[in-house]
C-alpha cells in the first residue's frame, strides 16, 4: 500500500513509499483511510522542528477518517463497514491526562494516518457524525478536540461568556463555532479584513485587524468596556501571550495552545499573578471529549470549515499551503 | 401607596391595602414597581400551604421589576432612573448557599413586590436586560434563575447534552430556552398535544404526552436508545421522581425543583444509589447567577414566554389562573 | 481448584466446588488469591436479595487480593509475582461512570474472588500498598473505594469540613479514616457505646447512640450549633434518610450508599429542595480512584480495621457473622 | 493615635505619625489593633517597587488582628469585644474574583493595619481562632489565605497528592502545614540545610538545598520516580518558573504567587502547552476562604510559625529583617 513517509526533514523530503498492508492483531482494526487533514504540528514534524530526534521513517498526520475493513479477534466496539477516526493520543481514553496516556500520539510517536490503510487498537478510534463528509470528519481529531477541551472541559464555557480567538486557523475556527454553539460571544483577530468579515458572518461579534491595530489588546478592552474577555484561545504562544494577559479579564482563562510564534520567545509571567489568571496548557484531548464533541456537532449541525482539499499525491503542496498561512479553517487530503 | 396583602390564607382573601411610601435608609433604594410575575410558590404562600406560620400581613410575590426613584446615602451600585429587579434571596450575592444567605426571601420572610413602591438594599437588586419589556424582565428572578442554577451552575450543562423538562410552567420553559441556547437537546412532557407542538417549535426535539403515555419514562428510554437523558429538571416532586429515576441515564443529574405534586408523597431512593444519580435540590440562585444569566439572555436574545398579563387589581384572577395550570410560560401583573 | 459457588440462594446453600484452573488469554493475568473480604452486597447476593435473577452458579465476593502467577500475551501493566487486587467494576478505569463501565462487576455479573485462582484482564487490577497484609489489602476494593469516591471524588472534602458516619461497618470506618486523613471532623452514630468509644479513639469528635437517642439528628444539630454537618455518608438508605435530611447543613452533601434498611422504604424528598441538598448515589468507584486512594493510604499509613479473619472453608460462618451486624470494620477470608 | 506611614519610598522613610482616632460610620467597626504581620508585598510597597504611584501618605501592612472597640449602626456580624482580623481585599467576600472585588486592598489601595486603631466595614473582617495568640492570628490574612486558596480552592488538593514548596517564607510554611493537614506530601527547597531539617521535622518528606543542587528540578524528578510533583507553590516568579515546569508532573498545577525573583524576568511558556500544565495566578483569597481555613486551623490545631516579633516602634527593623530573607515563617509586630 501507498504511504507518505518522513525520511529526512523538510517538506520536499516527504516521500510516497510502499509498505505491506497491515493485519489486525487481537483487539485491533484495519481502516481504509478516506481522508486526512493537516495541523501545524504535522508541518513542524515534517520540518524536524517539533522533534529533532523523531523516529524515522515515520508516516505523518494525526488526523484521518476511514472505513473499518478488517477486525481482529476480541473487537467489540466496531464492525466492518463502520466509519471511524483515529484519536490523537491512542491511550487517552478518559479522565485527566497523565504520562502514560500522553503517549503514543499518531504521526509523532507512532505512524500516522497518511496511508492507504492503518491498523489501530479498537480503543483508539471513534465513530464520526454521519452528516459529515469524509473530509469534514477528518478535520476533527486534533484541531476540533483541542478547541473543545480548551473551551468546554477545561474552560467550562457557558452562555453569555466571551472568548477571543487569534487568526483563522483550524483551532480558532472550531473555537468560534463551539463558542457560538454554547451561546458565548466571540472576538476575533486577523491580519486580513476579509477574513474578519468571514468570521463575523459566522457569528463573531467583533473583528480586530492586528496589522492595523498592533495593540489589539487595547481594542479588546475597548470592546469589553475595559473588562477584558473571559477566555482566550491563545495560539500565538510567547509572541502574543503578553498582550493576551492584558486582554483577558481579572480571573480569566487563557488556553495555551499555540506554537506558531516559535519556541524560543519568552514572556513575563507577573500579570498571571496580579490578575489571578489561569493559564491552562491544552494538548488535544481524550476520546471521551471527542465523543462528547461529536454528539454536540451532530445535534447542532456544526459543519467544519474546509479551506482546500488536496489529493494524497499532493501532500507536499498541502504542507506548503499550510506553511503559507493563507488558509481559513482546515486543509484536507483525499486519499 | 397601594399594596397587595396576605392577611388570611386563601386566594380570595388577598387584599389591596394602603401603606405609606417607603423612604430609603443607608444603602437602600426605593423602586417604583412596573411589573411583577407569579410563581407557584406565591400561590402556595397565599393559600397558606407553603408556610402555615407565615408572618402576616405580608406583601406577596418574589418577582418584580421597576425603576429606581430614590436612593439612600452610600448607594453606589445604581442611580435614579435605572431599571432593576429584586433578587429572590436578598442576601445570596455570590458563592454557594448557606443558612445566612438563604434568608430573607422576597414575598416569604419579608414583604414582596406586589406594591407600588418597594425599598430594598442596593445589594439586593440587579439591572435587567434593556431589550426586554418590563413584564418580560419581571419573569426572571425566580423561575429563570432557578432554571439557570439547575442547568448551568449546578448542572454544568454543555452542548450535546440532553435534558428532560416536565410540563410547560415557567421554570420548564426557561430550562428549554437555556438548554437550547447552550446547544443541548430537550425532551418535553405535557398533558396537551398543542403545548408539545409549541415546545417543539421552540426547539425541543421530542414531546411526550403523559396522559397518552403515563409511562413516559419508557418513551424517554426509547427516544434515547435506552440510555436515558443526562439531566432532568424535576418539577413534579415525589409524584414524578420515581419515573425520573428511570428516565435519567446512569450517572445522570436530576435537579429537584418542583413542589407541584404535593409535599406528602414519598419515593424509594434506591435507584439513586444503583444508578449513581445526583439529585440536587435547587432553590433559586444567587445574584451572581442572575447577572451571568442576564448577560446570556441579552447576548442570545432570549425572550421570556408570557402567557398572560393581568392588571394589579386583578391579582386574585391571576392567582386563580395559575392555579388552573392552563398556562404556558409565565403569568405577569402590570402595576 | 477450589471455589465457592452460589448455586441456590441462602447462606447455607453456598457450596465449595471444584473448577479447572484458568489460563490467561491475550491481555489477561491469573492471580493466586491470598485473601478476600466481605461486603453487605455479597451477603445480599448469596441470599438472592440483590438480584433474584442472578446467573448461577456464581463465584461470590467482589474483594480479593493475590499474587500474579501467570500472564497472557500483551500484558504490560504487571509481571508475575506482583501483588494485586481486582477492581470492583472491571471496566470502570477512569472518568465518570456510564452504562458500559458499570458492567461487569466481580461477584455479581461475573465470577468473583472466592476462588483459589482468578483470571482477570490486566486493566481490571491494581497494585496494593506494600505495608498492608494480604487481609488488609483485601478490604479495599469495595468499601474503601466507595468511601473515597463519596468523600473525595464526589464530596470534594477539605480540611475543616464535618462528616457524619452511620454505624461501624466497612464503609463507615473507612470514611472515618479518610476524613481524618483529610483534616475533617467526624460524628459517628452507633447502637453500642463501646463502638462509639472506639471510633472516638480513632479520631471521631462525637458519638451518638441512636438507641438512646433515636432522634440522633437533633443531637447532630446540637453538636454543630444548629448548622448541621457538611457531609453525610448515608448507609442506612430510606430508613435513615429522612433524619439525614435534618442533620445535614443547608447546601450540604449526602452520599447515598446504604442498602441496609431495605429496598422498600420510601422517603419524602421535599427537604432536598428546601435545603438545597445534594444527594449523590455512590456505587463504588473507578480504578483511578482506587489508585489515588492507595497512594493516600501508603503516605498516611492508613491501616484498615479488620474485625475477624475466617478460613476459606468457613465462608458460611463469615457470611453469618456479617449478617449478625456485630462487626466493627471488615470481615476477611484467608484463602 | 499612632500610625506608621509611607510618605516617601524606602524602609528608612517609614514614619510614625499621629492621626485622629476613627469613628465608625453605618456598618463599620473600629478595631484596636493588637498585632500585625509582614508580607513581602509590604516591603515592596514601602520601597516603592510594588506600585510607584502609590497614594501617600499610606498606612502600610495588610495583616492585623485586634479587638472590636466600637461599632456603627447597622452592625450585626460582630460585637464589641470580639477578636477579628481584617481581610486582605475588603470587597472579596465570596465566589470567584472580579475587578470590583479586587479593590480595595489593605495597605495598598487603602490604609492598612499599622495603626493603633483601624476602621473597617463589618463585611471586611473575620473572627480568628480562639486558641491562637494575637501574633499568631495576625499571620493569617495574606500568607495563610494565599496558601489555602492555592492548594484548596484552586488546587483541589487531596490526600496522597504531592506538593513542592520553595524556601521557608510565610506562604511556603503555611502551604506545608495545609498540605500535611490534608494528607498530602511535601518536598521543600531551601538554601540552608538547617531550614530543610526544620521543614522535615514539620512533615516534609524531602528537602533539597538549591545551593548545593542548583538543578533542583532534577532532584524532584529523582524523588518522584521521574513523575514530577502534582502541585508547585511557586513563589520565585520567573526566576524559578522554568525549573518548576520541569519539576511538575504532566497535567500538574503551578500556583503562581511569588514576586521574589523580580518583575522583569521572562520565561518560555512552551512547557505549559507540552505538559498540559495549569498555571494559576493566586492573589490571596476571599473572606469565605479565610473562614473555611480558620475552621480547619482550629480543628487541626495548626500553629502558625512565627520567626520573630518586633515592637511597633521597631517596624523599620522588622522590614529590614524581612529584606534579609533570614526568616523561617512569619515576622510579626506587637502593637
For residue C74, list its beta bridge partners: none
CA distance C16 to C173: 31
Total count of residues recorded for chain D = 335
Chains that touch A (3 or more CB pairs under 8 A): B, C, D
Q: Which pLDDT does position A264 carry in this prediction? A: 62
Greater model confidence, B284 or A270: B284
Provide the shortest C-alpha distance from residue D74 to chain B (in Å): 9
Q: How far apart are CA B243 and CA A327, in angstroms?
A: 52
Inter-chain contact B159–A296, Cβ cutoff 8 Å? yes
Q: Cβ neighbours of residue D277 under 8 Å, at least 6 residues apart?
A: A280, A281, D245, D248, D250, D251, D252, D253, D254, D271
Q: Closest by alpha carbon to A226, among A253, A247, A243?
A: A247
State the smallest CA–CA distance between residue C223 and chain B in angstroms. 16
DSSP classification of residue B21: P
**pLDDT at position D236, please?**
83
Q: What is the mean pLDDT of chain D?
A: 95
| A248-256 and B125-127 strand pairing | unpaired
Contact check, Cβ <8 Å, B182/A158: yes
Give the pLDDT confidence of C167-218 residue by residue, as tens digits. Answer: 999 999 999 999 999 999 999 999 999 999 999 999 999 999 999 999 999 9
Which chain A residue has the Cα nearest residue D100? Answer: A250
Residue A26, judged by CB atoms within 10 A of its CB (0-12, 13-18, 19+), counts as: middle
pLDDT of residue B250: 97
Query: Residue B275: enclosing H or E segment and its boundaries?
Result: none
Cα radius of gyration (chain D): 20
Which of A292-301, C43-52, D176-185 is the least confident region? C43-52
**Is residue C261's pLDDT more than 60?**
no
Contact: B299, A160; criterion CB under 8 Å: yes
Q: Work out the burial of residue A138: count CB atoms within 10 Å of its CB; fewer than 13 is exposed, 13-18 middle, 19 or more buried.
A: buried
Neighbours of D235 (CB within 10 A): 25
Cis before residue C152, ω within 30 degrees of 0? Answer: no
Instruction: Say whether pLDDT at A138 is over 80.
Output: yes
The pLDDT of residue A263 is 55
Spell out which chain D residues touch chain A, with contact meaning CB-CB distance below 8 angstroms.
96-99, 102, 227, 237-238, 241, 249-251, 256-259, 263-283
**Contact by Cβ (8 Å): D32, D80:** no
For residues C169 and C165, what is the distance between their CA atoms, to the nearest angstrom?
10
| C neighbours by CB contacts (3+ pairs under 8 Å) | A, B, D
Which residues of chain A are at the D interface, by a Cβ-Cβ cutoff of 8 Å?
96-99, 102, 227, 237-238, 241, 249-251, 256-259, 263-283
Taking residue A56's Cβ as centre, other Cβ atoms within 10 Å add up to: 11
Chains that touch D (3 or more CB pairs under 8 A): A, B, C
Question: Is this complex scored with an ipTM above 0.90?
Answer: yes
The beta-carbon neighbor of B99 closest among C250, C266, C273 is C250
By Cβ distance, the residue of B96, B265, B279 closest to C272 is B279
Q: What is the arithmetic mean of pLDDT over A117-139?
A: 98
First-residue to last-residue Cα distance in chain C: 12
Distance of alpha carbon B61 from alpha carbon A311, whole angstroms? 67
Cβ neighbors of A127 (< 8 A, separation 6 or more) are A78, A82, A83, A84, A294
Q: What is the pTM of this model?
A: 0.97
Give the contacts of A89 (CB within 8 A, at least 6 positions apart). A101, A102, A103, A104, A105, A106, A284, A286
> One digit per residue, pLDDT tens: chain B, 335 residues?
999 999 999 999 999 999 999 999 999 999 999 999 999 999 999 999 888 899 999 999 999 999 999 999 999 999 999 999 999 999 999 999 999 999 899 999 999 999 999 999 999 999 999 999 999 999 999 999 999 999 999 999 999 999 999 999 999 999 999 999 999 999 999 999 999 999 999 999 999 999 999 999 999 999 999 999 999 999 987 779 999 999 999 999 999 997 654 556 788 888 999 999 999 999 999 999 999 999 999 999 999 999 999 999 999 999 999 999 889 999 999 99
Q: Cβ of D258 and A274 within 8 Å?
A: no
d(CA C197, CA C326): 15
The percent of residues in chain C predicted with pLDDT above 90, rounded, is 92
The 3-class SS string of A56-72 reads CCECCCCEEEEEEEEEC
- B174-192: b or e for each residue (b if 16 or more CB lie within 10 Å)? bbbbbbbbbbbbbbbbbee
Decide if D292 and C182 are in contact by the 8 Å CB cutoff.
no
Q: Which pLDDT belongs to residue D242?
A: 92
Question: Could you tell me the pLDDT band of residue C237, with boundaries at 50, 70 and 90?
Answer: confident
pLDDT in the model for residue C262: 54
Q: Whole-angstrom Cα distance, residue D240 to residue D235?
A: 8
A265, pLDDT greater than 80:
no
Residue A236 has pLDDT above 60, yes or no: yes
Q: Where are the beta strands (DSSP E) in chain D?
A: 2-5, 15-18, 28-37, 63-71, 83-86, 117-121, 125-127, 162-166, 185-190, 206-209, 229-234, 248-256, 278-281, 306-311, 330-334
| CA-angle at D283, arms to D281 and D289, nearest 5° | 110
Interface of D with B (CB under 8 A): 26-27, 73-74, 93-95, 286, 288
Distance in angstroms (rounded) separating the CA atoms of residues B122 and B76: 8
Decide if pLDDT at C263 tops 60.
no
The string of pLDDT tens digits covering residues D69-124 is 999 999 999 999 999 999 999 999 999 999 999 989 999 999 999 999 999 999 99
Angle between the N-to-C axes of helices B238-247 and B216-223, in degrees from 0 to 180, rounded to the nearest 10:
30
pLDDT more than 70, % of chain A: 98
What φ, ψ does residue A135 adopt, rounded to 5°?
A: -65, -45
Q: Among A168-172, A233-237, B225-229, B292-296, where is mean pLDDT lowest?
A: A233-237
Q: Transcribe C92-122 into DSSP letters.
A: --SSS--TTTS--BBTTTB--S-BSEEEEEG
Which tens digits make up the pLDDT trace of D259-270? 654 556 788 888
Beta-bridged to residue A63, according to DSSP, are A37
Residues sharing a CB contact under 8 Å with residue B303, sequence separation 6 or more, in sequence order: B132, B136
CA neighbor of A291 nearest in space, from A152, A191, A119, A113: A152
Q: What angle do CA B110, B114, B117 make, to 5 degrees?
A: 90
CA dihedral of residues A41, A44, A48, A50 (deg, nearest 10): -50
Q: State the sign of the Cα–Cα–Cα–Cα dihedral B84, B85, B86, B89.
A: negative
Q: What is the rounded CA–CA span in Å between residue D186 and residue C176?
A: 24
More confident residue, C325 or A165: A165
Amino acid at each position: 500500500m501507498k504511504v507518505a513517509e518522513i525520511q529526512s526533514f523538510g517538506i520536499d523530503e516527504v516521500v510516497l513509499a510502499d509498505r505491506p498492508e497491515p493485519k489486525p492483531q487481537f483487539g485491533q482494526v484495519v481502516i481504509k483511510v478516506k481522508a486526512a487533514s493537516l495541523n501545524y504540528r504535522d508541518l513542524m514534524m515534517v520540518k524536524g522542528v517539533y522533534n529533532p530526534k523523531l523516529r524515522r521513517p515515520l508516516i505523518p498526520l494525526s488526523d484521518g477518517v476511514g472505513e473499518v475493513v478488517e477486525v481482529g479477534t476480541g473487537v467489540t466496539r466496531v464492525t466492518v463497514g463502520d466509519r471511524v477516526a483515529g484519536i490523537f493520543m491512542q491511550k487517552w481514553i478518559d479522565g485527566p491526562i497523565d504520562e502514560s496516556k500522553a503517549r503514543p500520539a499518531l504521526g509523532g510517536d507512532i505512524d500516522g494516518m497518511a496511508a492507504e490503510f492503518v491498523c489501530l487498537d479498537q480503543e483508539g478510534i471513534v465513530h464520526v457524525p454521519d452528516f459529515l463528509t469524509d473530509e469534514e470528519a477528518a478535520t476533527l481529531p486534533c484541531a476540533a478536540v483541542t478547541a473543545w477541551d480548551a473551551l468546554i472541559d477545561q474552560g467550562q464555557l457557558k452562555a453569555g461568556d466571551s472568548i477571543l480567538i487569534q487568526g483563522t486557523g483550524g483551532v480558532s475556527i472550531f473555537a468560534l463555532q463551539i463558542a457560538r454553539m454554547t451561546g458565548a460571544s466571540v472576538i476575533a483577530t486577523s491580519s486580513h479584513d476579509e477574513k474578519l468579515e468571514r468570521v463575523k458572518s459566522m457569528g463573531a461579534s467583533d473583528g480586530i485587524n492586528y496589522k492595523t491595530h498592533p495593540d489589539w489588546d487595547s481594542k479588546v478592552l475597548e470592546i469589553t468596556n475595559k473588562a477584558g474577555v473571559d477566555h482566550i484561545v491563545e495560539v500565538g504562544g510567547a509572541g502574543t501571550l503578553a498582550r493576551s494577559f492584558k486582554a483577558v479579564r481579572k480571573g480569566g482563562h487563557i488556553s495555551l495552545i499555540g506554537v506558531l510564534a516559535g519556541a524560543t520567545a519568552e514572556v513575563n509571567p507577573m500579570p498571571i499573578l496580579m490578575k489571578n489568571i489561569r493559564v491552562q496548557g491544552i494538548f488535544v484531548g481524550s476520546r471521551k471529549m471527542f465523543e462528547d464533541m461529536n454528539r454536540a456537532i451532530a445535534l447542532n449541525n456544526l459543519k467544519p470549515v474546509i479551506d482546500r482539499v488536496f489529493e494524497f499525491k499532493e501532500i507536499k503542496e498541502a504542507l506548503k499551503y499550510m506553511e503559507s498561512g493563507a488558509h481559513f479553517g482546515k486543509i484536507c487530503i483525499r486519499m
